Structure 1
Amino acid sequence: MRHLPTRTTHQRRGRVVGALAAGLLCTAGLAAPAAAADPAPAAPAAPRLGNGLALTPPMGFNNWNSTHCRAEFNEKMVEGIADLFIAKGLKDAGYQYVNLDDCWALPQRDAQGKLVPDPVRFPHGIKAVADYVHSKGLKFGVYTSAGIKTCNSAGFPGGLGHEYSDARQFADWGVDYLKYDNCNNLGVDAKLRYTTMRDALKATGRPIVYSLCEWGENKPWEWASGVGNLWRTTGDISDSWGSMLSILKENLPLAPAAGPGHWNDPDMLEVGNGGMTDTEYRSHFSMWSIMAAPLLIGSDLRKATPATYEILANKEVTAVDQDPLGKQGTVLTSAGGRWVVAKEMKDGSRTVALFNETDSPQRIATTAKSLGLPRAAAYTQRDLWQHRTYNTAGTVAATVPAHGTVLLRIAPGHAWAQYPPAVETGLDGGPLVESAKPARVTATVTDLGRTPALSTDTALTGPAGWGIRALSPTSSPALPTGRSLTTTWELTAPAGTPNGAYDLTLTSSYRAPAGGRVTQSLPVQAHVVTPPPAGTSYLSDLPWISAANGWGPVERDTSNGESAAGDGRPITVGGTVYAKGLGAHAASDIAYYTGGGCSTVSAMVGVDDETGGKGTVTFEIWADGHRLASTGVLTNPMPPQPLSANITGAKTVHLVVTDGGDGVDSDHADWGNARVVC
Structure 2
Amino acid sequence: MRHLPTRSTRHRVVGALAAALLGAAGLGTPALAAGAPAAPAAPPAAAPAAAPQLDEGLALTPPMGFNNWNSTHCRAEFNEAMVKGIAGIFVERGLKAAGYQYVNLDDCWVLPQRDTNGKLVPDPVRFPNGIKAVADYVHSKGLKFGIYTSAGTKTCNTAGFPGGLGHEYSDAQQFADWGVDYLKYDNCNNQGVDAELRYNTMRDAVKAAAETTGRPIVYNICEWGQNKPWEWATGVGQLWRTTGDISDNWGSMLSIMKKNLPLAQYAGPGHWNDPDMLEVGNGGMTGTEYRSHFSMWSIMASPLLIGSDLRKAPAAAFEILGNREVIAVDQDPLGKQGTVISSEGGRWVVAKEMADGSRTVALFNENSSPQRIATTAEAAGLPDAAGYRLRDLWQHTDANTAGTISATVPAHGTVLVRVSTDRKWALLPPALEVNADEGLMAEAGETAELTSTVTDLGRTPALAVSVSLTGPEGWRIKATSRSATPALAGGSRLTTGWEVVVPRTTPTGSYGLTLTTKYHSLTGQRLTTSAPASVHVVVAPPAGRTYLSDLGALSAENGWGPMEKDTSNGESKAGDGKPITIGGQVFAKGLGVHAASAVAYYAGRRCTTVTAQVGLDDEKGAKGTVAFEIWADGKKAASTDVLTNAMPAQPISADVSGAKVVRLVVTDGGDGVDSDHADWADLRIGC
Task: Report TM bin, short chain.
Answer: over 0.9
Aligned residue for 1:92, secondary structure, equals helix
Looking at structure 2, the residues matched to 222 and 399 of structure 1 have their Cα atoms a distance apart, in angstroms, of 38
Relative distance call for 1:395 and 1:257 in structure 2 (3 A) is same
Instruction: Give the aligned residue type for 1:157.
Output: P
Identity of aligned residues (%): 72
Shift of 1:86: 1.7
Moved more, 533-542 or 615-624: 615-624
Q: Is the 8 A contact 2:31 2:153 kept in 1?
A: no
**Cα deviation, residue 603, structure 1:** 2.1
Aligned residues of 1:362 and 1:428 also touching (Cα < 8 A)? no
Q: Deviations along 1:533-568, whole A, 9 cap, x unmatched?
A: 111111211111232333332221111222332222
**CA contact under 8 A between 1:45 and 1:195: conserved in structure 2?**
no
* Greater mean deviation of Cα atoms: 58-67 or 497-506: 497-506
One-letter code aligned to 1:472 = S
Greater RCO (Cα-Cα under 8 Å, separation 6 or more) = 1
User: Given the alignment of the two structures, is residue 412 of structure 1 paired with residue 412 of structure 2, yes or no?
Assistant: no
2:261 is the alignment partner of 1:252 = yes
| In 2: Cα distance, 1:530 partner to 1:46 partner | 69
Q: Report if aligned partners of 2:367, 2:557 keep a CA contact under 8 Å in 1.
A: no
CA shift for structure 1 position 249: 1.2
Residue of 126, 139, 143 corresponding to 1:134: 139
Kindly indicate whether residue 296 of structure 2 is the aligned counterpart of residue 296 of structure 1: no
Structure-2 change in CA distance of 1:570 and 1:379 (3 Å): same
Using the TM superposition, name which of 192-201 and 643-652 deviates more.
643-652
Amino acid at match of 2:566: D
Aligned counterparts, 1:323-338, within 5 A: 323-338=332-347
Q: CA deviation at 1:46?
A: 6.7
Equivalences for residues 385-400 of structure 1 within 5 A: 385-400=394-409
Residues in 1 aligned to 2:253 and 2:639: alpha-carbon distance in whole angstroms: 23
Name the CA distance, whole Å, in 1 between partners of 2:264 and 2:417. 20
Contact kept, 8 Å, 1:456 with 1:479, in 2: the verdict is yes
Task: Report the CA distance shift for 1:199/1:562 in structure 2 as closer, same or farther (over 3 A).
Answer: same
Residues in 1 aligned to 2:283 and 2:49: alpha-carbon distance in whole angstroms: 45
Q: Please state how far the C-alpha of 1:229 moved relative to its aligned partner.
A: 0.7
The equivalent residue for 1:505 is: 514
Please give the per-residue CA displacement for 1:148-203, whole angstroms capped at 9, x wherever unaligned. 11111222111111111111111111111111111111011111111111011001
Cα contact 1:240–1:550 (8 A) shared by 2: no
Candidates 145, 168, 171, aligned match of 1:163: 168
**Equivalent of residue 100 in structure 2, options 77, 80, 95:** 95
Q: Look up the match of 2:331.
A: 322
Q: Answer yes or no: is the 8 Å Cα contact 1:231–1:263 preserved in 2.
A: yes
Following superposition, the deviation at residue 38 of structure 1 comes to 2.0
| Structure 1 contact 361–427 (Cα < 8 Å) conserved | no
Aligned equivalent of 2:241: 232
Distance 1:391 1:30, change over 3 A: closer
398-407 or 638-647, which deviates more? 638-647
How far apart, CA to CA, are the structure 2 residues paired with 1:147 and 1:633?
Answer: 36
Cα distance in 2 for partners of 1:531, 1:95 equals 52
Say whether the 8 Å CA contact 1:22–1:186 is kept in structure 2.
Answer: no
Does the aligned pair in 2 maintain the 1:605–1:641 contact within 8 Å?
yes
For the pair 1:71 / 2:76, whether they are aligned, the reply is yes
2 CA distance for matches of 1:62 and 1:566?
29
Tell me the secondary structure at the aligned position of residue 110 of structure 1. coil
Matched residue of 1:132: which SS? helix
Partner of 1:6: none
For the Cα contact (< 8 Å) 1:178–1:208, is it kept in 2? Answer: yes
Q: Which among 187, 195, 200 is matched to residue 192 of structure 2? A: 187
Q: Does 1:601 align with 2:601?
A: no
Counterpart contact for 2:120–2:171, Cα < 8 Å: yes
Closer, same or farther: CA 619–479 of 1 in aligned 2, 3 Å:
same
Distance 1:639 1:226, change over 3 A: farther
Alpha-carbon distance change, 463 to 245 in structure 1, aligned in 2, over 3 angstroms: same
* Match among 316, 341, 347 for residue 356 of structure 2: 347
The residue type equivalent to 2:656 in the other structure is I
Name the counterpart of 1:39: 41
Over 3 Å counting, the alpha-carbon distance change for 1:370 and 1:78 in structure 2 is same
Match of 1:268 in 2: 277
Q: What SS does the corresponding residue of 2:657 show, helix, strand or coil?
A: coil
TM-score if structure 2 supplies the norm length? 0.92
Aligned partner letter, 1:195? N
Is the Cα contact below 8 Å between 2:438 and 2:534 reproduced in 1? no
Match of 2:148 in 1: 143
SS at match of 2:464: strand
1:573 Cα deviation after fit: 1.5
Cα distance between partner residues in 1 of 2:125 and 2:177: 21
What is the CA–CA distance in structure 2 between the aligned matches of 1:251 and 1:44, rounded to whole Å? 37
Aligned to 2:675: 666
Residue number in structure 1 paired with 2:114: 109
What does 1:166-177 correspond to in 2, within 5 Å?
166-177=171-182
**639-648 vs 447-456, which deviates more?**
639-648
Residue identity in the other structure for 1:185:
N
- Deviation, structure 1 residue 451: 0.2
- Specify the code of the residue in structure 2 equivalent to 1:259: G
Measured after TM superposition, the shift of residue 22 of structure 1 is 10
Is there any run of 5+ residues in structure 2 with no aligned partner, and where?
1-18, 33-37
- Higher mean Cα deviation, 436-445 or 353-362? 353-362
Contact 2:567 2:577 in 1 (8 A): yes
Deviation at 1:382, TM superposition (A): 0.3
Displacement after TM superposition at 1:254 (Å): 0.6
- Code of the residue aligned with 1:37 in structure 2: it is A
CA contact (8 A) 2:365 2:409 kept: yes
Provide the C-alpha distance between the structure 1 equivalents of 2:653 and 2:184, rounded to a whole number of angstroms.
46
In the alignment, is the contact (CA less than 8 A) between 1:48 and 1:225 conserved in 2?
no
- Structure 1 residues 529-538 or 318-327, which shifts more? 529-538
Give the root-mean-square deviation of aligned CA atoms. 2.2
Alpha-carbon distance change, 630 to 234 in structure 1, aligned in 2, over 3 angstroms: farther
- Specify which of 336, 358, 363 is matched with residue 367 of structure 2: 358
Q: 1:570 to 1:44 in 2, by over 3 A?
A: farther
Q: Is the 8 A contact 1:62 1:298 kept in 2?
A: yes
How far 1:420 sits from its partner (Å)? 0.3
Which residue is equivalent to 2:61? 56
Mark the CA change 1:127 to 1:617 in structure 2 (over 3 Å): closer, same or farther. Answer: farther
Following superposition, the deviation at residue 662 of structure 1 comes to 4.0
In the superposition, the TM-score normalised over structure 1's length comes to 0.93
Deviation at 1:140, TM superposition (A): 1.1
CA contact (8 A) 1:49 1:225 kept: no
- Does 1:577 find its partner at 2:582? no
After superposition, the Cα gap between the structure-2 partners of 1:556 and 1:67, relative to the gap in structure 1 and judged at 3 Å, is same
